[in-house]
Amino acid sequence: MRGRRGQQLPRDRPPPAWRPDLLHRLTGPRYTPHLRASHDSFTFNKFCHPEEPRLTSPVPAGADRRIYIDKQSPKAYHALVQTSEAVRAVAADAGLDRVLVELVNLRVSQLNGCAYCLHLHTRAALRAGDTPQRLGVLAAWRDTELFTPAERAALALAEATTAPADTAAQDAAYAAARDALTDDQISAVIWVAVTINAFNRVSVMSRHRVRAEQ
């Protein structure tokens, strides 16, 4: 048996040890199956959400690895983003301030269990001028006096839009909205709830991750 550079090895000497790390450097990850998970993690996250961190450790074999549908179908996602931008303009034209819009985004995201959207819109709400106290009790907004009549009407309408099968709650929310919001504002709130519901489903089904802030 010959070793490196063709030198003759003693007959009683074992062959050189298998070095997958060396082979990985020489030929790339496709030839080293046990390292492929790490490579695929990088590739998978390279084109994910702009704020999404890349995985730094190999994904175990058989792990649930979701398709990022915003990146897999960019034309559809771009259309959703354009709709969201149009809805933002409609809300502004209707006289809805950014704080109210972000409350709707957050409440719908709470109901849908979308961690990623909660992360993004909590920061957006704080930037818009909302307070940590109000955001902290948002899930129980009915039991506080921290929200204005317009905000309460918008939150109830957003909840009804998220669970439209509950017609009794829907009718009650609509009646309350009539007393606190204009027709343009009611329409805008519903559109805000519709679009954030769509974004929630994109993130939940893609399993977008929330990274820890430093």
**pLDDT tens-digit profile of 58-108?**
434 445 688 999 999 999 999 999 999 999 999 999 999 999 999 999 999
55: pLDDT confidence band, cut at 50, 70 and 90? very low
Q: SS3 letters for 114-148? A: CHHHHHHHHHHHHHHCCCHHHHHCHHHHHHCCCCC
- What's the token pair of residue 19? 């070095």
In the chain the domains, ranked by start, together with CATH numbers, are 10-65 (no CATH), 71-206 (1.20.1290.10)
Please give the Cα distance from 81 to 106 (Å, whole number).
18
Please give the Cα distance from 76 to 141 (Å, whole number).
34
Question: How distant, in Å, are the alpha carbons of 9, 21, 108, 143, 154 from that of 129?
Answer: 75, 52, 19, 22, 18
**pLDDT above 90 for 50:** no
Amino acid identity for residue 44 in this structure: F
- What's the token pair of residue 87? 């809805």
Secondary structure of residue 2 in the 3-state scheme: strand
How big is the CA angle at 196 (ends 190 and 197), to the nearest 5 degrees? 85
**pLDDT above 60 for 164:** yes
Q: What is the pTM of this model?
A: 0.70
DSSP structure class, residue 93: H
Closest CA to 155 of 200, 190, 104, 116: 104
- How far is it between the farthest Cα atoms of the chain? 94
Residues in the chain: 214
Region 49-54: mean pLDDT is 38
Secondary structure of residue 8 in the 3-state scheme: strand
1: pLDDT confidence band, cut at 50, 70 and 90? low
Please give the Cα distance from 51 to 177 (Å, whole number).
36
Question: How distant, in Å, are the alpha carbons of 97, 129, 142, 164, 174 from that of 159?
Answer: 19, 23, 12, 8, 11
Region 165-186: mean pLDDT is 95
**pLDDT above 90 for 119:** yes
Please give the Cα distance from 76 to 175 (Å, whole number).
35
Q: In the chain, what percentage of residues exceed pLDDT 70?
A: 70
**pLDDT above 90 for 115:** yes
